[in-house]
Amino acid sequence: MNKDTKIYIAGHNGMVGSAIWRALSAQGYTDLLGVSRTVLDLRNQQDVKDFIAAENPEVIIDAAAKVGGILANINSPYQFIMENMQIQNNLMDSALQFGVEKFIFLGSSCIYPKLAPQPLKEEYLLTGTLEPTNEWYAIAKIAGVKACEAIRKQFGKDYVSLMPTNLYGTHDNFDLNTSHVLSAMIRKFHEAKEQHHAPVTLWGSGSPMREFLFVDDMAQAVVFALENKLPDCLYNVGTGSDLSLKDLALTIQTIIGHKGTIIWDPTKPDGTPRKLMDASKMNALGWKHQIGLHEGIQITYKWFLENISS
């Protein structure tokens, strides 16, 4: 991979896409391409085809997706399955049609069955039923994984799927209606601290186990996949360790300095009991995460404070 290789990062303004952009820039890549959604609607097939034909990128990194937590998935199941399939199908099909040799597709750990053995291995895909609260998003991402695999098998292209565990970090979404659990907790504890350490109410029992990966580590995994021809089509990307949501809440509460009480609302869904990724395939090839959870939350909270007005 040359430093002047033309690389299109779909979703470059999002948390993951912007981290990938920063990582590639830091590595000396000079021909990075990104287009905002106001200019290019990735759900529009013809517009995407016209764009790829005109720009002729050598690599496409698909970090674009409609994402959200349990509440957003429950409220908008159609948008989560349809818009994600539109985005990835348009990008992948245009890449194949116009000769893009390398495509990196980013998915999610939710592609694996709800009750799959832990830690989650790549071969557990399609071996059981999905978690009902986010199956719409999961089905879309599974379709993307299988499309990449099909192109790889049929056409011999270097198309690969990376499945990250739960991501967090700078440029995250802190909207309580659409955010994921870690960023939502940061906002809730911060606002409660500002309100004289008011109580914080959190969803579920707090017992589910979750794994979290700082977004800059995910970006380094993408750089690794870019610079190496990976032998398989599907790889997990994670830390290999998890903690309960109760412990996560206590960690965030301590970092933020909130001294009030935590109330767990058992009437709200817990989601999957445990989601721990087995990233040994990626680790064996040479990638490993570098940023621990405590440090990552500190960095994220600092960014949150610096950008709270926007």
Domains of the chain: 7-172+211-242+275-291 (3.40.50.720)
Per-position pLDDT tens, the chain of length 310: 899 999 999 999 999 999 999 999 999 999 999 999 999 999 999 999 999 999 999 999 999 998 887 788 888 999 999 999 999 999 999 999 999 999 999 999 999 999 999 999 999 999 999 999 889 999 999 999 999 999 999 999 999 999 999 999 999 999 988 788 999 999 999 999 999 999 999 999 999 999 999 999 999 999 999 999 999 999 999 999 999 999 999 999 999 999 999 999 999 988 888 889 999 999 999 999 999 999 999 999 999 999 998 8
From the annotation, which residues make up the binding site? 11-17, 106-109, 141, 164-167, 180, 188, 203, 210, 270
Token duo for residue 36: 């905002």
For residues 185 and 269, is the Cβ–Cβ distance under 8 A? no
Token couple for 221: 């995994």
Distance in angstroms (rounded) separating the CA atoms of residues 97 and 92: 9
The whole-number pLDDT of residue 73 equals 85
Beta-carbon contacts of 30 under 8 Å, excluding residues fewer than 6 positions away, are 3, 4
Model pTM score: 0.93
Q: List beta partners, residue 163.
A: 236
- Angle at 202 (CA atoms; ends 199, 207), nearest 5 degrees: 125
* pLDDT at residue 272, rounded to an integer: 80
List the catalytic residue out of 8, 112, 137, 235. Answer: 137
Helix (H) or strand (E) holding 59, with range, is strand 59-62
Q: What is the per-residue pLDDT for 47?
A: 98
Return the pLDDT at 151: 98
The amino acid present at 241, given as its one-letter code, is: S
137 is catalytic: yes
- Amino acid identity at 80: F
The candidate with the shortest Cα–Cα distance to 106, out of 239, 3, 15, 210, is 15
Vertex 60, ends 52 and 96: CA angle to 5°? 60
Burial letters for 137-175: b for 16+ Cβ neighbours within 10 Å, e otherwise?
Answer: bbbbbbbbbebbbebbeeeebbbbbbbbbbbbbbbbbbe
Binding site, annotated residues for NADP(+):
11-17, 106-109, 141, 164-167, 180
